[in-house]
Amino acid sequence: METPAYVAGVGRALEPKRFTNVPEPAFASHDHDRLDNRLRLYGLKEKKVRGDGNCQFRALADQLFRDQERHAECRAAVISQLRREREHYAVFVDQDYLSYVGEMSRDATWGDHITLQAASDAYGVGMCVISSYKDNFVIEITPRTKRGERVLWISFWAEVHYNSVYHIDANV
């Protein structure tokens, strides 16, 4: 399964990349502990979404609509954005672009940083991703055209799972 890799510093927009490394279980567990600690430090908590290959889109649907079951709607908006603005995203895809878009359109295909950027652009919202990466763990995604001040918050247990994120006192 292919998942995203981020390549820039804290608080900066990133260049989307893809790779296929999935961590060993012991490393992944340590990684999640690091993510939990960071979320607590920032006064945040995860709202778990189902881990069925649609977790990125479920986390986005939860943030946008408070309903992770609307994940297919989010995926469709992302696919439409990828098709509409091919020239903007194709430079980040290291395979045939139409094959990539076809793959991403299938239910249970893991999203990547390219789909996060396309979602940000499609909905005109900023995103903040708190990840379990050792360094550069706060990832800001800015839409090409902003349509308000709303920011979506999601967590990324690196190479494993996305969840929706809320303030620790939120009733979710």
Q: Which residues are catalytic?
A: 52, 55, 161
List Cβ neighbours of 44 (8 Å cut-off, separation of 6 or more): 130, 153, 155, 165, 166, 167, 168
Q: Tokens representing 17?
A: 């990349």
Inter-residue contact 172 to 47 (CB < 8 Å): yes
Collapsing DSSP to helix, strand or coil, 6 comes out as coil
Give the angle subtended at the CA of 75 by the CAs of 2 and 62, to the nearest 5°.
100
Q: Could you tell me which residues are beta bridge partners of residue 165?
A: 46
Written as one letter, the residue type at 43 is G
Residue reference for tokens 């359109």: 105
Q: Which residue, 129, 107, 106, is CA-closest to 117?
A: 129
